[in-house]
C-alpha cells in the first residue's frame, strides 16, 4: 500500500484496482486535473478498473438512496410484480427477476459477448431495478433519438407502494449526482488520452445512461454448479460507476487470468471501462471481465446491494478510433459504431 499527497499524485492506494483521489482535481487545479488524467490512463491500460474517492457526492445522498432501495426490495414480491419489465422491452426499465427468468440473463450494462456459454448458465441470484433519464417526462423529446424515439421514450416504472414515496426523488437526485461525476470523469479521460478535456462533452451531453440497483438476497439454497450472483461479463458502454456495500464478492480477472477481489473502500465508487471505450481507444484501454461470487456458506445469510450507472454516449454519437490512439504502428482495430445502434445490439438479447 502506497500513500502520497494528492497534489504530488492522486493515487492513494496502488494495485491492480487503484484508489484515486479526485478532490484536488475537482477543485479546478490544472496540475491536479492533469495528474488525475494520467493516473486514470494508467489504470485503464492495466486493468480497466479503479476506485474514486474525493468525488464530491454527498454521503447522506448515498445513504438515502440505499435505504429506500433496500426498502423497495424488502416489499413482498407480489406487491412489486406490476413493475416487472415486459418481455422484449429493450429499455429494461422496471424490475427484473432473474430467478424467475430464463438462464443466462443479466443486467442492463452487460455485454452479450459470452455467447452460448452465458445462455446455458444458471440464472443469476439477483433482482434488478432500472431507470433512465429518457424515461422522465419530456427528456426524450430533447434527446435527438431519431428512429429510437418510440422505444427509448417509454416511461420509467416507479414504485407506488406506501412508504416508498421517497424512492423516485432519491433515485433522481442520485442519478443527477452520478451524471455530474460521469461528465467530470469523461473530461479526465480526455486529458489522459492527450485530448482537449472537453473533447467528449458534445458526445455525452444527452447520454442514454441506465441507473440500476442489483439486489442479491440471502442465499437460502445450495447454488448449482456454475451459478453466480452475477455471471462473468464485460459492460457495454463507456464506463460503469458503481456504488457497492461492504458485503463484497466483486472480482475482476487480471492479466494472468486469475480472479482478484475488488476492495471495498467506504465512500468510494468503483469505475470500470466498458466495451465502447475500448473501441474508442483502439484497445489502449481494456474492458475487463468481472463477476459477483456467491458468498461462502457462513456469509450466505447476508444480502448485498450495488448501484451501477451504465454510462452510454448520446444516441447519434459515432464511436471511432480516437486520433491520439492510432498511428502507423497501431491502425484502427474496430469499425466505427453509432452509440444508439450499439446499445440496441447489446440489449436485445437481454430483453428476450
Grid coordinates belonging to 90: 429493450
Q: What is the pLDDT of residues 222-274, one digit of tens each?
A: 888 888 989 999 999 999 999 998 888 899 999 899 999 999 999 999 999 99
Burial 300-326 (b: 16+ CB within 10 A, else e): bebebbbbbbbbbbbbbbebbbbeebb
pTM of the model: 0.92
Of the candidates 150, 155, 148, the one whose C-alpha atom is nearest the C-alpha of residue 134 is 155
Task: Examine residue 5 and state whether it is found in any structural domain, yes or no.
Answer: no
Task: Examine residue 4 and state whether it is found in any structural domain, yes or no.
Answer: no
Contacts for 5-12 with beta carbons within 8 Å, 24 or more apart?
A: 6/32, 6/54, 7/31, 7/32, 7/35, 9/35, 9/39, 10/35, 10/36, 10/39, 11/39, 12/53
- Number of domains making up the chain: 1
Domain that residue 33 falls in: 11-347
Q: In which band, very low, low, confident or very high, does the pLDDT at 4 lie, cut at 50, 70 and 90?
A: very low
Task: Examine residue 154 and state whether it is found in any structural domain, yes or no.
Answer: yes
Question: For residue 199, what is the domain's CATH number?
Answer: 2.60.120.330
Query: Does residue 140 contact residue 134 with C-beta atoms inside 8 Å?
Result: yes
Task: Examine residue 128 and state whether it is found in any structural domain, yes or no.
Answer: yes
Q: What is the pLDDT of residues 61-113, one digit of tens each?
A: 999 999 999 999 999 999 999 999 998 899 999 999 876 644 333 444 554 44
Task: Examine residue 257 and state whether it is found in any structural domain, yes or no.
Answer: yes
Helix then strand then coil, % of the chain, to nearest 5: 35, 20, 45
Q: What is the pLDDT of residues 145-191, one digit of tens each?
A: 999 999 999 999 999 999 999 999 999 999 999 999 999 999 999 99
Task: Examine residue 2 and state whether it is found in any structural domain, yes or no.
Answer: no
Task: Examine residue 231 and state whether it is found in any structural domain, yes or no.
Answer: yes
Q: What is the pLDDT of residues 321-344, one digit of tens each?
A: 999 999 999 999 999 999 999 999
Amino acid at each position: 500500500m502506497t500513500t502520497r499527497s494528492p497534489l504530488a499524485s492522486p493515487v492513494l492506494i496502488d494495485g491492480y484496482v487503484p484508489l484515486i483521489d479526485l478532490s484536488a482535481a475537482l477543485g479546478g487545479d490544472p496540475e491536479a486535473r492533469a495528474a488525475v488524467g494520467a493516473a486514470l490512463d494508467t489504470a485503464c491500460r492495466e486493468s480497466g478498473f479503479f476506485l474514486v474517492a474525493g468525488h464530491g457526492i454527498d454521503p447522506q445522498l448515498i445513504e438515502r438512496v440505499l435505504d429506500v432501495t433496500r426498502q423497495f426490495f424488502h416489499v413482498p414480491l407480489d406487491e412489486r410484480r406490476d413493475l416487472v419489465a415486459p418481455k422484449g422491452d429493450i429499455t429494461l426499465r422496471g424490475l427484473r427477476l432473474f430467478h424467475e427468468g430464463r438462464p443466462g440473463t443479466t443486467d442492463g450494462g452487460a455485454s452479450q459477448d459470452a455467447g452460448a456459454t452465458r445462455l446455458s448458465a444458471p440464472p443469476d441470484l439477483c433482482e434488478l431495478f432500472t431507470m433512465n433519464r429518457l424515461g422522465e417526462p419530456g427528456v426524450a423529446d430533447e434527446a435527438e433519438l431519431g428512429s429510437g424515439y418510440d422505444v427509448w421514450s417509454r416511461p420509467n416504472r416507479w414504485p407506488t407502494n406506501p412508504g416508498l414515496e421517497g424512492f423516485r426523488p432519491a433515485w433522481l437526485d442520485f442519478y443527477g449526482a452520478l451524471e455530474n461525476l460521469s461528465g467530470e470523469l469523461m473530461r479526465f479521460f480526455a486529458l489522459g488520452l492527450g485530448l482537449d478535456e472537453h473533447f467528449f462533452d458534445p458526445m455525452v451531453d444527452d447520454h442514454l445512461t441506465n441507473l440500476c440497483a442489483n439486489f442479491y438476497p440471502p442465499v437460502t439454497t445450495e447454488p448449482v454448479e456454475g451459478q453466480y450472483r452475477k455471471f462473468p461479463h464485460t459492460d457495454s458502454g463507456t464506463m460503469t460507476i458503481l456504488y457497492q456495500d461492504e458485503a463484497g464478492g466483486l472480482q475482476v480477472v487480471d492479466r494472468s487470468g486469475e480472479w482478484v477481489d475488488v476492495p471495498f473502500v467506504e465512500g468510494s465508487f468503483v469505475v470500470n471501462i466498458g466495451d465502447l471505450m475500448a473501441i474508442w481507444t483502439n484497445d489502449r484501454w481494456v474492458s475487463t471481465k468481472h463477476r459477483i461470487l456467491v458468498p461462502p456458506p457462513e456469509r450466505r445469510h447476508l444480502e448485498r446491494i450495488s448501484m451501477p450507472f451504465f454510462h452510454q454516449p448520446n444516441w447519434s454519437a459515432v464511436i471511432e478510433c480516437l486520433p491520439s490512439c492510432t498511428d502507423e504502428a497501431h491502425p484502427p482495430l474496430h469499425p466505427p459504431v453509432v452509440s444508439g445502434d450499439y446499445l440496441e445490439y447489446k440489449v436485445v438479447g437481454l430483453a428476450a
